[in-house]
Amino acid sequence: MFAAIGIVILLVMVFGGFAITGGALGPVMEAIPHEMLIIGGAAIGALVTGNSMHELKGLGGGLAKVIKGPKHNKQDHIDAIAVTTKLMRLLRTDGAIALESHVQDPQASAIFAEYPRLLANKPLIALIADTLTLIVVSSGTLEVHAVEEVMDNAMKTHFHDMTEPQHTLQGLADSLPALGIVAAVLGIVKTMGSIDKPPAILGGMIGSALVGTFMGVLLAYGIVAPLAGRLKQVLEQDEQIFHAVKEVITSSLHGWPQPMVVERARSGLGHSFRPGLSEMLDALRGR
């Protein structure tokens, strides 16, 4: 929503300011479709050349994330910490055998069933289930730092896939000014082929060519780069739930008491969706 509002404000202020200061919008509006055909077509061609279908689909999903905002809300973070804490408590009190059925088939687990929204988050559930399965099959012989390294590696791979659309958008933003220059140069070439025309006509042709440079810069720094920046913010916020789960597992394996485990996981969350400690402990008690 805010992305759309921001783009509207941008267009109104740029073109409105131009009109208020005496600029004629007619020639600009007339030139934009032709210049955008060159710039937009070149940008699409570059995207197709530099990305597979998987990355192109991911780019569409990334733009959807900009509009929707972060995937995980405050309750999701509470649930993720709660379910992981309950599983680690089960491991400590009843042993690996009691935990095994829950992590081998999370969909059939009574503990996971308490958090249906979380169950739909397949990458997060896979991180929890796979890590705890590793602990179960190792019969408790794994060192904590080894578990932490395995989780770090899994999260690094997942985060890399998540951030590809942001990198693609940022690369597009970096290329658009140059593509605008390409459109402008072609306009100048066209003008030079009509050098015998009257000055009024030549002036219009040069102005039309300069619209290409203007559109390339406007699209790059006014629209695409801000979209890439916002996507980066959304992705960083969505990563925090994974780090919270990791903190619960590693702190529990270190033998920390449950309130300290919960506090370590909770305190690493952003302020916009960080639950209070009492709220978190109440969730563990089922209140």
156-195 tens-digit pLDDT: 999 999 999 999 999 999 999 999 999 999 999 988 888 8
What is each CA distance from 260 to 149, 239, 251, 252, 281, in whole angstroms?
Answer: 22, 22, 8, 9, 11
Number of structural domains the chain divides into: 1
Q: What is the pLDDT of residue 213?
A: 94
Q: What is the pLDDT of residue 192?
A: 87
Which has the closest alpha carbon to 262: 111, 31, 88? 88
In the chain, which stretches have pLDDT less than 50? none
3-state secondary structure (DSSP) of residue 85: helix
pTM value is 0.87
Q: What is the pLDDT of residue 282?
A: 82
Q: What is the pLDDT of residue 175?
A: 95
Whether the Cβ atoms of residue 263 and residue 47 lie closer than 8 Å to each other: no
Residues 6+ positions from 108 with CB-CB distance below 8 Å: 101
Whether the Cβ atoms of residue 202 and residue 195 lie closer than 8 Å to each other: yes
pLDDT, tens digit, 9 for 90 and up, residues 125-160:
999 999 999 988 887 677 889 999 999 999 999 999
Whether the Cβ atoms of residue 235 and residue 68 lie closer than 8 Å to each other: no
What is the amino acid identity at position 245?
V
How many CB atoms neighbour CB 270 within 10 A? 12
What is each CA distance from 8 to 5, 222, 225, in whole angstroms?
Answer: 5, 11, 16
CA 111, 112, 114 angle in degrees (round to 5)?
Answer: 75
Distance, in Å, from the CA atom of 19 to the CA atom of 59, rounded to the nearest integer, reads 35
- Parent domain of 190: 1-287
How many CB atoms neighbour CB 159 within 10 A? 15
3-state secondary structure (DSSP) of residue 93: helix
Q: What is the pLDDT of residue 138?
A: 83
Q: What is the pLDDT of residue 284?
A: 81
Give phi and psi for 70, each to the nearest 5. Answer: -55, 145
3-state secondary structure (DSSP) of residue 140: coil
Q: What is the pLDDT of residue 128?
A: 95
Two tokens, residue 113 = 């069933």
Distance, in Å, from the CA atom of 235 to the CA atom of 221, rounded to the nearest integer, reads 20
Q: What is the pLDDT of residue 127?
A: 95
Helix residue spans in the chain (DSSP H): 2-20, 25-50, 53-68, 74-94, 96-104, 110-113, 116-119, 122-137, 144-192, 199-218, 225-253, 258-267, 277-285
How many CB atoms neighbour CB 105 within 10 A? 11
